[in-house]
């Protein structure tokens, strides 16, 4: 990965160079995403050494998407749990105020 003067980052994935310009302030996110994709590709290649090209890329992308979906489900469950805790605390406070 390298940066050009015009703010474009060149990312090499599976031997192909892609020139990508990230929105202002999102350059590090672009680099992190490229690194994550490369790691997913390497992991997928280790598991399925006969896969190449588009098939490897699609399977790696599908694995990343399934991980994202699982993390979103976990996040939603945590938010629901926190909301229940906040609601219970508000209820206790309301009862305490009403009794005062």
Helix (H, G, I), strand (E, B) or coil at 98: helix
Domain extent at residue 61:
8-99
For residue 68, what are the contacts with CB-CB under 8 A and spacing of at least 6?
A: none
Q: Are 14 and 54 in contact (CB under 8 A)?
A: no
Residue 80 lies in a domain: yes
Q: Tell me, letter by letter, the H, E, C secondary structure of 40-92.
A: HHHHHHHHCCCCCHHHHHHHHHHHHHHHHHHHHHHHHHHHHHHHHHHHHHHHH
Residue 77 lies in a domain: yes
Tally of structural domains, the chain: 1
pLDDT tens-digit series, residues 49-78: 999 999 999 999 999 999 999 999 999 999
Strand 2-3 vs strand 8-13: parallel, antiparallel, or unpaired? antiparallel
Tell me the C-alpha distance between 64 and 52, whole Å. Answer: 17
pLDDT tens-digit series, residues 25-50: 888 999 999 999 999 999 999 999 99
Residue 12 lies in a domain: yes
Residue 87 lies in a domain: yes
pLDDT tens-digit series, residues 81-97: 999 999 999 999 999 99
């Amino acid at each position: 990965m390298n940066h050009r003067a015009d703010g474009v980052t060149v990312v090499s994935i599976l031997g192909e160079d892609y020139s990508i310009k990230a929105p202002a302030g999102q350059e590090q996110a672009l680099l992190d995403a490229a690194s994550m994709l490369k790691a997913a590709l390497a992991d997928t290649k280790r598991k399925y050494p006969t896969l190449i090209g588009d098939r490897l890329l699609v399977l790696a992308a599908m694995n990343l998407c399934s991980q994202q979906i699982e993390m979103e489900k976990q996040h939603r469950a945590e938010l629901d749990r926190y909301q229940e805790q906040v609601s219970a605390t508000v209820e206790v406070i309301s009862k305490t105020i009403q009794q005062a």
